[in-house]
Amino acid sequence: MQGLEVRGLSKRFGGLTVSEDIDFDLMPGDRKALIGPNGAGKSTFSNLVTGILTPTSGTIRFDGSDIGRLNEAQRVRLGIAKTFQITTLFRDLTVRENLRLPILERERRGFGFIGRANGHTAIEAEVDDLLGQFALGGLADRKVADLAYGQQRLVELALTLALKPRVLILDEPAAGVPSSETHLIVDAIERLPEDLAVLIIEHDMDLVFRVARQIVVLVQGRILTEGTPEDIAADAQVRELYLGGGHD
C-alpha cells in the first residue's frame, strides 16, 4: 500500500496518555489538516510519525513496510519530512546555502571534500527552481537571519521540500507570521507538487479551511472526528469545542 498508514498508535509519558489508539492514513495527493485545542497531542503525533518520539504501542507503516523502529534521519531518507514550529534554519548561511545543504545531503554528497559545494550544475539548477517556486529569488544571497519572519517560513518550507519528500508534515507553518504575510504561506502550500502527501498541523482555522481537503480533529490524544472542511464546520461537537473556549 502507498503512503502512510498508522494503526492503534499510543504514547504515554509516565501515567499521562498523550496519544491514544490513533488510526490515521495519509495518501499521495492528500491535503489533510490536524486540528485540536492546545495539549490535544498534535505535536506528539507528528513527532511519533517523524521518529523524534517512539510510540508506546501501535504501528506506523510507510509504503507497506514498518518504519516504527527507524530514527529521524532514516525516515527523512525514506521521504518523510517535517517543517518546524519554531524555525531552526541555518541563520548565518544565505538562503541559497540553506537550500543547497539539504539537496547535497539527499544526494549523499555531504561528506564530499573535493570540489566546491556550489559546483554541481544539477543541484544549483534545483536550488534555482526552489527559489523561483517560493519567490525567494531576490533574497537568494541574503543571510536567513536578515529576512522577515514570513520569508523565513518560506525558506523553511523550501528547505524541507528540497529533500524531495513524499510525505510532508507542516507543523504550524503560519505560526508567528503576521496576517499580512499569511497569503505567502497559503500560496506556497497551494503550489506544492500535486502527488505529495501533505499533513498540516495548524491553529489558524482560516488557513486550514483554505488549504485542507480533509480535516482530522484531535482531542485529548484521541481522534474526535474526521471529514471534509464542510463536515467539520457543520459538526456540533467541533463547534462546541472551539466556541466553548477550547480555542486559543
Partner 1 sequence: MKSWGPPLLLLILAVVLYFALPFNLAFLTRILIMVVLVLSLDLVLGYAGIATLGQAALYGAGAYAAGLFAIHVWADPVAGLFVGAGAGAMLAFVSGLVLMRTQGLTLIMLSIAVASICLEIANKARDVTGGADGLRGIRMEPVLGLFAFDFIGKTGFWYALAVVAVVFVVLALLSRAPLGLSLRGIHESPERMAAIGVSVYWRRITAYTIGGGIAGIAGALSAQITQLVSLESFSFTLSAEALIMLILGGTGRLYGAVLGTLIFMFVHHWAAANDPFNWLFVIGALVLAVVFFLPKGVISAPPAITRLLKGGRHAGS
Residues found near partner 1 in the complex (CB under 8 A):
72-74, 76-77, 81-82, 84, 88-93, 97, 100-102, 104-106, 109-118, 159, 163
Q: How is 119-155 classified by DSSP, letter by letter?
A: --HHHHHHHHHHHHHTT-GGGTTSBGGGS-HHHHHHH
Q: Give least dist CB 117 to partner 1, A.
A: 4
Q: Give least dist CB 56 to partner 1, A.
A: 23
Q: Give least dist CB 159 to partner 1, A.
A: 7
Q: Give least dist CB 94 to partner 1, A.
A: 11
Residues forming beta bridges with residue 14, ordered by sequence position? none
Compare residues 76 and 208 and give the one whose CB is closer to partner 1: 76
Compare residues 102 and 150 and give the one whose CB is closer to partner 1: 102
Compare residues 35 and 76 and give the one whose CB is closer to partner 1: 76
Compare residues 90 and 242 and give the one whose CB is closer to partner 1: 90
Residue 96: which residues within 8 A CB-CB, separation 6 or more? 127, 131, 140, 141
Strands in 187-238 per DSSP E: 197-201, 214-219, 222-227
Angle (deg, nearest 10), helices 95-106 and 149-161: 20
